[in-house]
């Protein structure tokens, strides 16, 4: 079973809480999981023999949160070719904005440009519809694990 690298970008803490909740569920299911704080990401190129799972909130006009933006920018500028990397994205946003889940979708587009292969569809969690994004994420993780 491949290790899962769980990375999150948060504004008010919801994405961090979702990532921490998912980590526990994945560990309970017997997976090896590394949870990466934004401060730990400098120079981090996701290993292609592991899986990358990004949980990302959206801020401003569809922007990547400040805590994870340096890594996003670094990855974009370095542009490593990642044809063997499998990844997934859980995007948090508010559908009352035109840029709903924009940050997660930016990560999806970037990883696709780098040659990585997405596992499943991007999970978009709407803050306007749910007060507990971790509940939706846990339901999604149950089916997502079958793709591993």
Q: What is the pLDDT along the chain (148 residues), one digit of tens a residue?
A: 789 999 999 998 999 999 999 999 999 999 999 999 888 999 999 999 999 999 999 998 899 999 999 999 999 999 999 999 999 999 999 999 899 999 999 999 999 999 999 999 999 999 989 889 999 999 999 999 888 8
Task: Report pTM.
Answer: 0.95
**Domains identified in the chain, total number:** 1
Which residues form the domain of 133? 4-147
Cβ-based burial of 102 (10 A; exposed 0-12, middle 13-18, buried ≥19): buried
CA atoms in the 13 A half-sphere facing the CB of 73:
9
Give the CATH number, domain containing residue 50.
Answer: 3.40.50.360
In this prediction, residue 128 carries a pLDDT of 87
């Amino acid at each position: 079973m491949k290790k899962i690298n769980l990375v999150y970008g948060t504004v008010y803490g919801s994405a961090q809480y979702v990532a921490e909740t998912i980590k526990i569920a994945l560990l309970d299911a017997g997976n090896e999981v590394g949870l990466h704080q934004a401060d730990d990401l400098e120079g981090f190129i996701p290993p292609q023999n592991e899986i990358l799972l990004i949980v990302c909130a959206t801020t401003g006009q569809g922007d990547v949160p400040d805590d994870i933006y340096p890594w996003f920018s670094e990855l974009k500028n370095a542009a490593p070719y990642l044809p063997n990397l499998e990844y997934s994205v859980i995007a948090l946003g508010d559908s009352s904005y035109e840029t709903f889940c924009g940050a997660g979708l930016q990560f999806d587009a970037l990883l696709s440009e780098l040659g990585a292969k997405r596992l499943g569809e991007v999970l978009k969690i709407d803050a306007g519809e749910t007060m507990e994004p971790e509940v939706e994420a846990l339901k999604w993780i149950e089916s997502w694990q079958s793709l591993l």
